Amino acid sequence: MANVMVVHGAQDASEVPGIENLPSSVELRFAPNVDTLRAALPGAQMMFGWSFHSKEMREAWASADELKWIHWCGAGVDAVLFDELANSEVILTNSRGVFDRAMAEYTLGLIIAFAKHLPETLRFQGEKRWQHRLTEQLLGKRALVVGVGSIGREIAKVLGAFGLVVDGVGRRARDTDADFRKVHAVSELDSLLPEADFVVAITPSTAETFQLFGAKQFSAMPRSSYFINLARGVVADESALVAALRSGEIAGAGLDVFETEPLDAASPLWGMDNVIVSPHMSGDFYGFDNVSMEIFLDNTNRFLEGRGLRNVVDKVAGFVPST
């Protein structure tokens, strides 16, 4: 029996670097859209989600008659984790670990940019305006990282090495932790916000994290604090965030994710001097696709040989549990 794999989100092999390294026993079917996905799924045991934004699998689910395993090329699996899949026996794996360092560096870059007033400096440069100013020193500043998975932990390591004091917020509290000064339970979030200079959201997108940050949370943060969202746009109430930025309840925001992507040209976030907008790129670096493919290729061999897979997602929780 052929080992059939559907590659969703690609027209052909030329769009997926490294896929030629799959075992010759694997028959590939490319499905760039929902119609081709429906046609490709019957008889397929494996699926590779190359377009991590795509939500078309839900529409094509009824065609998946022999599917056993899906590998998702992103770290977040909210686009593919619908009820029918969650309640099935299909194994879901992801690219956990690939983006950790890049996102940690990006977080540090945003924090440095805000502390050293780099957006303002670039704006003044464009105006040919010479204006001396004082900036913040980061040593001893307090960062609260909301989400203590592999990315959150790498952020804690990088910020800690830079001299910030880093606490984490996870599902459960623990007094001792290898990467955070302390991990607090998410139920403590509101009480922690008044002490944070930088709040970094890096939670998975689940029902529990939907609009975790709203008007109440932004009003609890110091007026000198910054909100950084590298998780998913729905983790924050965008209208409440805009209001907090306009009123000065928080000093600024670094946003890599939004409720609707691409961000609408009419969004007020584009024109705010205290906001850095980026197009969901914080984890992407030169060569990231090759690193991600290494995990996928290894998992393909494991699947074909009947061995345990790497990065198995807990489909109830919505993420790969930390070891």
Q: Are 183 and 152 in contact (CB under 8 A)?
A: no
- What is the rounded distance in angstroms from the CA atom of residue 140 to the CA atom of residue 159? 10
Of the candidates 157, 242, 169, 173, the one whose C-alpha atom is nearest the C-alpha of residue 199 is 169
Active site residue 8: no
Q: Are 28 and 19 in contact (CB under 8 A)?
A: yes
Strand 46-49 to strand 226-229: parallel, antiparallel, or no bridges (unpaired)? unpaired
Active-site residue, selected from the candidate residues 232, 238, 302, 307: 232
Active-site residue, selected from the candidate residues 8, 153, 184, 280: 280
Active site residue 142: no
Dihedral in degrees, nearest 10, Cα atoms 69, 97, 166, 180: 70
Active-site residue, selected from the candidate residues 59, 66, 188, 261: 261
Separation of first and last alpha carbons in the chain:
36
Active site residue 261: yes
Q: Which residue has the tokens 């001299």?
A: 163
Dihedral in degrees, nearest 10, Cα atoms 203, 205, 208, 210: 110
Active site residues: 232, 261, 280
